[in-house]
Amino acid sequence: MASSVSRYVWGALLVPSLLAASYVLASSPIVPKQLPAPTDPGFASLPLNSRARVIYPEDFIEGGAYVQLPMGRVRYWLTGPTFGKKATGFSYTTFMGGVTQMLPQDTAYDPQLYVVQLALLLQHLNWTRVRLVGYSMGGAIAASFVASFSALVEPDVVLIASGGAGSPNRSMLSKFRHWWFVEHRVKRRLATRIAQPDAETAIQEIVRLQAEHHRGYPRAVISSLHDGILTKLQWAFSSPAWRDRRVLLINGDRDSVIPPVAAQVLRQMLESAHASSPLEKSEGAPPEVVLVPVAGAAHDVTWTHTQEVTSAILGFWDSAGSTTG
């Protein structure tokens, strides 16, 4: 009897302690300790003849440069003529030229990080107004930027295989995002979910190499899942800032990462952005949303169907009667 009571006492003491320890480990804050934030060396730490640096060299796109911003170093590219309207294209991965975050360690990858860094980059370039072209997670970041800095964005916005329509429920694994087994699982998923199931593209190898050799890359993906870039941006896509805008949505009909139904969800959110209240209805027209499906395309649509994507974007810009540059 005494032994049974003793076990109950130990259990009553041990279980709360374990729960408390799990809570602390799962909710450890990911915040920078200094500014500017330190950056992960990534591929720069690998030999020049390594496979990663051979197929994805620093000059993968011409016209690249770095700028040190408070939350990390940013790699950006300036291409095309200097006249006409300026367009900013950005992606979370390496599928298209644009703004790439040099992943700072111990940083929360939330909408504030990306929005502020992009705003500071535009200030660095002395650009006062831009067109936004966002791919994948970059589409969700574009929505956050429109909602936060509407005056800096031209009326026409392009979102390609855009994230942001996911369920607001956090992944259980993301709560333990700084544990090694979570990072390992994310690396495996990154290597298998990007390309079409029946064909491996070069971009899939680049993503896999990033996951294997750029430790900050899977950490940032996990943090983005936890901190809302993919799952908690309904506020951004439903913002009144979309009134009177034109939005082009492009999605591959074989995309398993951002399925076609997600584009329909985003379209509905955008079209309802002007209907917050009867008073707000009179202050602007609903956004014009054009949805272009790309037949046979998976999530790497900008890589495998470059011509179709480019034609859709240029046609969208031309239909507004504006200079495409």
User: Mind listing the pLDDT tens digit for each residue in 176-217?
Assistant: 555 555 666 665 665 555 544 555 566 677 777 777 777 677
Q: For the whole model, what pTM was predicted?
A: 0.76
Between the alpha carbon of residue 285 and those of residues 239, 242, 244, the distances in Å are 13, 9, 5
Residue 254 in domain: yes
Residue 325 within a domain? no
Q: Are residues 13 and 93 in the same domain?
A: no
Structural domain includes residue 212: yes
Determine the residue type at 65: A
When pLDDT is cut at 50, 70 and 90, the band that residue 175 belongs to is low
Cβ 111 vs Cβ 82: under 8 Å? no
Please indicate, yes or no, whether residues 21 and 104 belong to a single structural domain of this protein: no
User: Is the Cβ–Cβ distance between 291 and 251 less than 8 Å?
Assistant: yes
**Same-domain check for residues 12 and 84:** no
Q: What percent of the chain has pLDDT over 70?
A: 63
Q: What is the pLDDT of residues 263-274, one digit of tens each?
A: 999 999 898 876
Phi/psi for 250 (5° steps) reads -120, 130
pLDDT of residue 98: 36
State how far the Cα of 294 lies from the Cα of 316, in Å rounded to an integer.
Answer: 15
Dihedral (CA of 260, 247, 243, 153) sign: positive
Residues 272, 168: one domain? yes
169-200: b or e for each residue (b if 16 or more CB lie within 10 Å)? eebebbbbbeeeebbeebbeebbeebbbeeee
CA 107 to CA 238: how far, in whole Å? 27
Instruction: Check if the beta carbon of residue 251 is closer than 8 Å to that of residue 260.
Output: yes
> Same domain for 18 and 154?
no
Average pLDDT, the chain: 75
CATH code, 182: 3.40.50.1820
Q: 277 and 135 in contact (C-beta within 8 Å)?
A: no
CA pair distance 16, 4, nearest whole angstrom: 19
* Cα dihedral value 294, 195, 165, 87, nearest 10: -70
The residues, ordered by sequence, that sit 6+ positions from 83 with a Cβ below 8 Å of its Cβ are 323, 325
Per-residue confidence (pLDDT) for residue 160, from 0 to 100: 95
Domain that holds residue 26: 1-30
Within this chain, do residues 54 and 24 fall inside the same structural domain, yes or no? no
* Length of the chain (residues): 325
Report how far residue 265's alpha carbon sits from residue 91's, in angstroms, rounded to the nearest whole number: 21
Domain count for the chain, please give it. Answer: 2
**What pLDDT digit, counting tens, does each position of 106-165 carry?**
567 788 888 998 999 999 999 999 999 999 888 999 999 999 999 999 999 999 999 887
257 and 152 share a domain? yes
Q: Is the residue at 108 inside a domain?
A: yes
Same domain, 7 and 60: no
5 falls within a domain: yes
Judge if 259 and 174 occupy the same domain: yes
In this prediction, residue 148 carries a pLDDT of 94
Count the neighbouring beta carbons within 10 Å of the beta carbon of residue 22: 12
What is the crossing angle of helices 180-192 and 202-213, to 10°?
170
Report the pLDDT averaged over residues 224-247. 82
Residues 148 and 9 in one domain: no
Check whether residue 21 and residue 51 sit in a common domain.
no
- Give the DSSP letter string of 237-265: HT-GGGTT-EEEEEEETT-SSS-HHHHHH
SS3 67: strand
